[in-house]
Structure 1
Amino acid sequence: MRKTPVLDFQSIAPLLPTSFGTLYIAYSGGIDSHVLLHLLATQSQWRDRIVTVYVDHGLQAASADWTVHCRQQAEALGVAFCSLQVDARASNGESPEAAARNARYRALEKLTQEDDVLLTAQHREDQMETMLLQLFRGAGIQGLAAMPIKAAFGLGSLIRPLLDVSKSEIQTYAARHNLQWVEDPSNQHSDFDRNLLRNEIVPLLKQRWPSLDKTIARSARHCGEAVELLTGWANQTLSQLMEPTTRCLALDKLSEFNDTQANWLLRHWLQNQGLKPPNQALLQSISQQLIQARDDANPQILIQGRVLKKFRQRLHCLHPQQLLKLTGTHDWPCDQTSLSLTNGYELTRVIAPSGIDQLLWHSSKITLKPRSGGEKLKLPGRQGHHDLKKLFQEAGIPPWEREARPLLYLDDRLAAVPGLWIAEWALQTKTDGCYQVTWQLGQSM
C-alpha cells in the first residue's frame, strides 16, 4: 500500500533558498498561506528573517478584520508583519480576478529588494486550475507550463514551495497543528472562472480521475521543461539577431527562420523588452504591418505602452518618450556633469583620452539645440564639410532619433552631436584631459 505523503518542513526544505536577505511570505490568512507560514515560523533558524505580508485589496467588507487576524497570527508565531493596501478595481477589459492578482503582485514586487525572496502558497490543485484555465483560453506552451516553482521577481526572487503538495496534505497539516484561518466568502461564488473550476468542474472530473491534480501538474512540468529548452535556444539565437546597444531586431536575419521559429523568436524578443507574451493575432499584425512593410513605409504599432517601428530591416521597440522631438535651447553650465532635456533624455559628461578639450569646454558657453536643417560638420580625417542629414543616413540613425538628438554648440559654433561625432576643430587627444558626452534616456523612462 502506497504511503500517504506527509507535509513537514523537511519535505519543502530543498526548495527553500540557502541565502537571502528578507524572506517575505504572502499571507492571506487562509489555510494555504497559514500552513506555509507555520512550516517556516516554527523553525527557529528562519523565524527572525521572516516578514509576513498581508495585501488588503479593499474588495471585502471584512478585510479590516482579516488584517487584524493576520497580524495576531504572525505575532503568535513570533514573526514580523506588514500590511499593504492596493487598488484592485478592474480596468476596462480586465477581469476582477486578474485585477486583484495584478495589484497584489505589483505591491509585493515593490517590496522585494535585491536578495529578498517572496514565498507564496500555491499548491498542486492551484497548478491544475491554472493550466486548465490557460488551456480553455487557447494558450500556447508557455501558458500551459502554468506556474514555475522558482522565478525572478522584482529585484529578488519568488518561490512556491507547496506547488507539488496536494490540498489534502495541507488540510491534514492544519488539522494536526490545530491551526486557525479565515475563509474568503468570495471563494464560494462561481461567478469567477477559477472558482467555477474549483467548486463545480474539478470535483466532477476527480470522481472519474482521482489523481487528476498529479497528472495535470506533471503535464505542466513537461511544458515547463519544453519552454526552458526553447528559451535557451531563443536566448542564444537572439544574441545573433539583436543589436546590443539599441536592442533592435534584425529582420533580414529573422527571415532565415521558418514561420514557427520566427514567431517564437519574435515573441521572446518582445518579452526581453519587458512586454507580456503577444497572442497570435498580434504576432500576425506585426508581421503584416511591420515586417512585411515596404522599406519606405513608416508604420507603427502600439503595444502595452510601447511603440514598434521598423527602419532599414530593423524592428525597434520604443518608449513613447523616445519619439518626442527635442524643442528649445538648453544652456549647460560648464561645471555641471549632466543635463536633463525636455524630451526625457539625459546628457552626461565623462573624462576620456580623446574628445572635447577640457580647457575649451570650461572657457565656452555650452548650449544644446535641436536640428533646424542645413547643419554641416567637418569630421576628423574626412575631406570637406558634410550635411548632418547625410551623416545620419550613412550611420543608419532612425528618423525619430535624428529629431530627438541634440546638437552641442560651444560659443554658438557646432562642436558635436553627442554620442556620435565631434567636429574636427573641437577634437583633441589628451590623457585624462578631454570630455566625451553620452546621450541616453533618463532613468525614469
Structure 2
Amino acid sequence: MRLFFMGKHGGSHPNEMKERTNGLPIEQATIPKQLIYPMSMHIGAPAEPVVSVGEKVCIGTLLAKAPGMISANVHASVSGTVMAIEKRPTLNGFSDCIIVENDGLDTLSADIKTEAEQITEAALILERIQEAGIVGMGGAAFPTAVKLNPPKGSVIDTLIINGAECEPYSTSDHRVMLEYTEEIIKGIETVSYLFPKLQNVYVAIEDNKKDAIIAVENAGAHLSNLRVVPMKTMYPRGSEKNLIKLLTGREVRPAGLPAEVRCVVMNVSSARASYRAIAFKEPLYERVVSVSGTPVKSPKNLLVRIGTPVESLLKDCGGFIQSPEKLLSGGPMMGRTLSDVQIPVMKAMTAITALNEKESRIGEESDCIRCAECIHVCPVNLQPVLISEAYRRGDLEKARALGAMDCIECGNCSYICPSKIPLLQNIRDAKAAIRTLDEKKKEGA
C-alpha cells in the first residue's frame, strides 16, 4: 500500500480504499446454523460459562458471565441449543468457546423489551450497559461500563464520540452513522446523565465522510452542547489520546486515563449499542462489519450476529475473484491475520479485509538505516525502533522505560520503515512479554 507521509505530524495518509463499500447500505448477513462464542471477546478476564450442554437458549440469553469488573458478559445471538463448550480457533488462538446450534426461530429473551424505556438514573444506566456486555466496538474492546464509570472524584466535562474510522477499507462506523443516526444521538443523551458536570459533547468525524457529518449534525441539532467536528483525514486520527489533544488541547500523560483530563471517549457504534442496552435491555448480540478488499467479489456492509464464522460473511459477498494472500480482522494498518475462516465475528471486529499478493507484500527485512521516519509518524511520540531493538535484545525493562505500554498499535511505524523491520509486531510482542513478566512478579509476591 502506498503511503504519503506528513513529516513530523504523528500520522500518515494511507490510501483509504473505502470506495467499494462506503456507499453501500447495511445488509443483513446470513445467520448460520452454528454459532461460536469465545469467552474472551474483550480486554480483561474471560467470561465464565453459566449454561450447560443441551440447554435451550434465546436471543439475549446470558451464556457466560464476567468474573470481575474488567471483563464482559457474553450472550446468545440466536435461539437454539448449547451443543458444546470447547476450544475453537479465535482471534486469540485456540480458546474456550460456547457452541450454539441455531433453531432458526429467532426467539427473543423475555428480558428484552419491545418499547423503549426512558432511564436517567446513573446507577441503572451503568448496570444495563454492564449486563449487556457492551465493549469498545471500534476495536479496543474495553468494557464500556468501566470506561463510563471513572474513578471516584473524577469530574467529566467533555464527552467525545469517536466516528473517525481512519483504518483503510473499514466503513462499518460510517454506515452506522448514516443508518442509525437517531440511536447514536439517543445514546449520547442517555450517557450524558452519568456526568452532571458535562459541558461539551464532540462527535469527531473525518472529513471524508461528509454525508455522516451532515446526518449527525441534523439529528443532534436540538442538543445545545453537541458539536460535530469535521477533522482532516489522517491516520490514525481516531486514536483516543490524539482526539483528546486535538479537540480539547489537553494531554493525557503516558499510562494515564482520559478521565484524568476530564474526558470520556466512546465509539459511535458503542454509543448506539449502549442506547439499546439502556432503553431495551438489549445485549450486544450483533454488529456491523464491512467486508472488502481487492479479492472480494462483492464487498458489503453486513449486520452480523456475534459468533458467526468469517466464512459465512465471505460467502455472503460471493467469495473471491482471486485467491487472497492475506485475510485480516480489521484493516491493513492495525488488523490481525485470520488464520482460519471458522474464526467467529467478535464484538470489536469492525471489518474483514482481503489483500492480494501485491497489497500484502512486505519485502525482506534489512538493517535499520536510522532515518527516524518511525519516530516522525508515531502519533504518541514514541521511538518505535528503539523499543523494537530493546525487545529483540531481551531487555524488557528498557522497552518498558521507552514507553512500549503506551503504544496504540496503529502500525504507522511498520508501514513507513524502509528497512521493513516488523516494528509493530515486535512492540506487540514486547507488551505481551511485559504483561507476562508483571503477572509472574505478582504471583511471586
Note whether the superposition's TM-score is higher than 0.5: no
The structure richer in helix per residue is 1
Relative contact order (C-alpha < 8 Å, sep 6+): which is higher? 2
TM-score, normalising length from structure 1?
A: 0.30
Flag the structure with larger Rg: 1
TM-score, normalising length from structure 2?
A: 0.30
